[in-house]
């Protein structure tokens, strides 16, 4: 593994550790959604996989292992060398991926999931962007509905505002 790839992996892992409090908010949403989903509903979880600077993929399933296996296959097919398990939410609810660009010339995807609404998802992305040290700009590229429907987005946040 190159020095650059190793440095990016370390940075990415520290990004995940700093985001832990946002991830735990998903636990509350998961409990709430279990109480509010109709009995016939079969909630799906979402798995996110990333290969730094190469590929970022996701898959839906009711089973975490199946979802990560699917996302890893997609990542490898997209050219990813080291496809890392990044995030799992069950149920997925509103989920998405935002690219955070740093003033030091590095960029990475940030995933959020388990949000109760699209509005809440976008608000959480905006807060994340505005509070990320050295962020120069942020772009929400993909949003997933609770039913797993992929929506492309061109929403951008300026962290300086």
What pLDDT, on a 0 to 100 scale, did the predictor assign at position 105?
87
pLDDT at 138 over 50: yes
Strand, coil or helix: 4: helix
Residue with the bigger pLDDT between 4 and 41: it is 41
| Other residues' Cβ atoms within 10 Å of the Cβ of residue 75 | 24
**Where does the pLDDT of residue 77 fall: very low under 50, low under 70, confident under 90, or very high at 90 and above?**
very high
The pLDDT value recorded for residue 2 is: 52
Q: Which residues of 33-68 are buried (b: 16+ CB within 10 A; e: fewer)?
A: beeeeeeeeeebbbbbbbbbeebbbbbbbeeeeebb
pLDDT at residue 161 in the model? 78
Residue 52 has pLDDT above 70, yes or no: yes
Q: For residue 64, what pLDDT is reported?
A: 97
The pTM of the full predicted model, rounded to 2 decimals, is 0.74
Overall average pLDDT of the 34-58 stretch: 77
Q: What is the pLDDT of residues 85-118, one digit of tens each?
A: 999 999 999 999 999 999 998 899 999 999 999 9
User: What torsion, rounded to 10 degrees, do the Cα atoms 40, 74, 66, 26 define?
Assistant: -60
Top-confidence residue, 66 or 105:
66
Average pLDDT over residues 32-61: 77
Residue 57's pLDDT band (cuts 50, 70, 90):
very high
* 58 vs 2: CA distance, rounded Å: 25
């Amino acid at each position: 593994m190159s020095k650059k790839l190793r440095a990016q992996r370390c940075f990415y892992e520290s990004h995940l550790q700093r985001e832990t409090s946002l991830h735990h908010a998903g636990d509350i949403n998961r409990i709430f959604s279990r109480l509010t989903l109709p009995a016939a509903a079969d909630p799906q979880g979402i798995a996110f996989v990333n290969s730094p600077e190469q590929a970022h993929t996701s898959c839906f399933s009711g089973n975490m292992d199946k979802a990560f296996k699917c996302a890893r296959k997609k990542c490898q097919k997209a050219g990813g060398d080291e496809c890392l398990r990044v995030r799992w939410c069950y149920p997925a609810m509103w989920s998405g991926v935002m690219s955070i660009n740093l003033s030091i010339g590095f960029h990475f995807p940030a995933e959020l999931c388990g949000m109760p609404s699209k509005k809440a998802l976008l608000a959480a992305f905006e807060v994340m962007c505005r509070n990320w040290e050295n962020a120069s700009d942020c772009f929400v590229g993909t949003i997933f509905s609770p039913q797993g429907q992929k929506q492309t987005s061109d929403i951008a946040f300026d962290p300086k505002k």
